[in-house]
Structure 1
Amino acid sequence: MEATPADNNTGQVHRPRRLRRTGALRRMVQETVLTAADLIYPLFVMEGEGQQEAIPSMPNCFRYSLDLLLEEAKAVWELGIGAIALFPLIPHHQKDNAGTESYNPDGLIPRAVRALKQALPELLVITDVALDPYSSEGHDGIVQNGQILNDETVAVLAKQALVQAEAGADFVAPSDMMDGRVREIRKALDAEGWINVGILAYSAKYASAYYGPFRDALDSAPKFGDKKTYQMDAANAREALKEVELDIKEGADIVMVKPALAYLDVICRIKQHTNLPVAAYNVSGEYAMVKAAAQQGWIDEKAVMLETLTSMKRAGADLILTYFAKDAALALRTEKGKA
């Protein structure tokens, strides 16, 4: 029998390892529990039929034509994932500086939303509100003389959100980081009677180097410069609280931090700052790094995936947008079956 160490001051023995002794004990005292219901699955949609294109920089992620998108969404729903976020690959001939295709009622996203809500009415559909997929300049706003116009862009974003709501979107998600866009989108939705359509605001979206694979997926990289005049400086955390406070005042229902892994401290601060649900976006670069290391045999992909997602929830995220959603839901179901 091992000797029992005693605390010199109290004479009491402290052995935290007692609560780690078995799997049942560890599960019983686990502080943070990750479930499939916490996850939102981003999906890429494109024109065509019977098409599934691999995204080289995002292994096991694809662009889907609408018919195959529906099949993927059904598979996701059956895994217990209750929400998807849609992102469009827009053909070059439909792009212009004003992003006019973004508010075409017969455009790719409105058609996709209508089809999804008809096939899976209970699945929550979240639509991206931003101009970069539709812009010939690859920026989130209208460009004039090398500058991104704020108010003119916001007017287009409100039109885009309204078209998405009319198609059946449950949440519109402005990801552009233009000032005042949440307020104008809320006003436009309410004026047309879409009071139950929520706003998931990309409140603290950083000008990050982690977005590269996503821009490959949508062919939406900026044609000049970068996005630092409207997305946040990676060095700033207090500024995130200001952005969140503004979005809440303007009518956001959920606030989000993007990226997630390098900004866990920001997620934690925001969670302490608001009672609204907080989302985190586990972005394409974070996903691709795990996939690349796993392909080299350097890490255990499943273990790192679950540890990473759990860290985001532990930091304070109520919801996590992640390209791992499907794999994570499968892994969690397997673990539950073993319990």
Structure 2
Amino acid sequence: MNQTFNRHRRLRANAAMRDLVKETRLHPSDFIYPLFVVEGLEGKKEVPSMPGVYHVSLDLLKDEMAELISLGIKSVIVFGVPEEKDACGTQAFHDHGIVQKGIAEIKKHYPEMIVIADTCLCEYTDHGHCGVVKDGEILNDESLELLAQTAVSQAKAGADIIAPSNMMDGFVTVIREALDKEGFTNIPIMSYAVKYSSEFYGPFRDAADSTPQFGDRKTYQMDPANRLEALREAESDAAEGADFLIVKPSMSYLDIMRDVKNRHHLPLVAYNVSGEYSMVKAAAQNGWIKEKEMVLEILTSMKRAGADLIMTYHAKDAAKWLAE
């Protein structure tokens, strides 16, 4: 036979060969595990729309950290569900708020764990929006003042990284200035730089009790149809002093992650969000897919698209599978 074609299959001949030439690799240290710490809760309670994900009480955080560290997972992001809410989200920036308590508890027992604080107001406002509301409008600049207070209170509690997720214009600038003024010049900002207004957030809103009580978030979160807008958002946050850039959601936005990675040299974070997680879980529970294979394929696609780190509710399972 006249061999006029390339034999690409030579490098796929067996498992050892395929592993030798693998271009993209996952490691448990790539994962950031989201935690939902609930004020007033005793023990843990599964989130109905997120099988395998739990609301946890403060006293269980030590055990949670021990498990994560045993799996090689070195970072968490903390979300809080308070007992009381008000129009301004006061519990978000209270020194004794649930996230502040959770951060302090984790750092007390496991100072080596990287603790990221989600910096937003939606879990703490009685209207469920990410900022101050007046006459049905979400106010930008007035919200920034409260977000800056929240970031400083989280830094004082021991957070290693501040992660503002509110999508108010200028939030990186204002938070950076507030942190620096209080002496937290070495605390990095992991900006939710590109955050789309997405239906994939549904289960998270169940977990965080943060569903808007009126309207939607389309005036501050991005239109899923827009690509160039994402590049403008990332450019602004990088220029304002962000140390990491997040793209959220991930599975339907791999093209956006690659675009952002190609333009910026900051660490890029993919947020593998709740709806993406729950779809896989539901399909696996019905026997329609092989969960392990699908999850690892999805997470690999995010790294291949440019993500350096992945926030994912699959982190524990994925770490176990990678160790097999």
Unpaired runs of 5+ in structure 2? none
Instruction: Give the TM-score taking structure 2 as reference length.
Output: 0.99
Return closer, same or farther for 1:185/1:18 CA change in 2, 3 Å cut-off. same
Match of 1:75 among 67, 92, 98: 67
The CA distance in 1 between the partners of 2:286 and 2:70, in whole Å, is: 31
Hey, what does 2:289 align to over in structure 1?
Answer: 299
Deviation at 1:159, TM superposition (A): 0.1
Deviates more, 1:63-72 or 1:269-278: 63-72
Q: Which amino acid aligns with 1:44?
A: F
Hey, what does 2:206 align to over in structure 1?
Answer: 216
Indicate the SS of the match to 2:36.
strand
Unpaired runs of 5+ in structure 1? 8-12, 335-339
Return closer, same or farther for 1:17/1:229 CA change in 2, 3 Å cut-off. same
Assess if the C-alpha contact under 8 Å between 2:296 and 2:318 holds in 1. yes
* 1:329 is aligned to 2:319: yes
* 1:58 is aligned to 2:58: no
Deviation at 1:5, TM superposition (A): 5.2
Assess if the C-alpha contact under 8 Å between 2:61 and 2:105 holds in 1. no
Q: Which whole-Å deviations, capped at 9, do the CAs of 1:80-131 have from their partners, x for residues lacking one?
A: 111000011122xx21111111111011111111111110001000001111
> Structure 2 matches for 1:175-324, cutoff 5 A?
175-324=165-314
* 1:159 is aligned to 2:149: yes
Match of 1:127 among 107, 114, 117: 117
Assess if the C-alpha contact under 8 Å between 2:82 and 2:97 holds in 1. no
* 1:117 is aligned to 2:131: no
Match of 2:11 among 11, 19, 22: 19
Deviation at 1:48, TM superposition (A): 3.4
Deviation at 1:49, TM superposition (A): 5.8
Indicate the SS of the match to 1:201.
strand
Indicate the SS of the match to 2:253.
helix
Deviation at 1:14, TM superposition (A): 1.3
Assess if the C-alpha contact under 8 Å between 2:78 and 2:116 holds in 1. yes
The CA distance in 2 between the partners of 1:5 and 1:175, in whole Å, is: 59
Hey, what does 2:82 align to over in structure 1?
Answer: 90
Assess if the C-alpha contact under 8 Å between 1:129 and 1:175 holds in 2. yes
Q: Which whole-Å deviations, capped at 9, do the CAs of 1:238-279 have from their partners, x for residues lacking one?
A: 111110111011110000000000000000000001000000
The CA distance in 2 between the partners of 1:126 and 1:213, in whole Å, is: 21
Deviation at 1:70, TM superposition (A): 2.0
Hey, what does 1:10 align to over in structure 2?
Answer: none
Q: Which amino acid aligns with 2:10?
A: R
Assess if the C-alpha contact under 8 Å between 1:207 and 1:227 holds in 2. yes
Q: Which whole-Å deviations, capped at 9, do the CAs of 1:142-170 have from their partners, x for residues lacking one?
A: 11101000000000000000000011100
Q: Which amino acid aligns with 2:205?
A: R
The CA distance in 1 between the partners of 2:102 and 2:15, in whole Å, is: 44
Return closer, same or farther for 1:5/1:87 CA change in 2, 3 Å cut-off. farther
Q: Which amino acid aligns with 2:191?
A: A
Q: How many residues align?
A: 324
Deviation at 1:47, TM superposition (A): 1.9
Hey, what does 1:47 align to over in structure 2?
Answer: 39
Q: Which amino acid aligns with 1:60?
A: G
Assess if the C-alpha contact under 8 Å between 2:89 and 2:125 holds in 1. yes
Q: Which amino acid aligns with 2:207?
A: A
The CA distance in 2 between the partners of 1:48 and 1:134, in whole Å, is: 15
The CA distance in 2 between the partners of 1:305 and 1:98, in whole Å, is: 38
Q: Which whole-Å deviations, capped at 9, do the CAs of 1:28-52 have from their partners, x for residues lacking one?
A: 1001001111100001001236410
Hey, what does 1:337 align to over in structure 2?
Answer: none
Q: Which amino acid aligns with 1:68?
A: L
The CA distance in 1 between the partners of 2:124 and 2:41, in whole Å, is: 21
Assess if the C-alpha contact under 8 Å between 2:32 and 2:315 holds in 1. yes
Assess if the C-alpha contact under 8 Å between 1:49 and 1:67 holds in 2. no
Indicate the SS of the match to 2:189.
strand
The CA distance in 2 between the partners of 1:106 and 1:127, in whole Å, is: 14
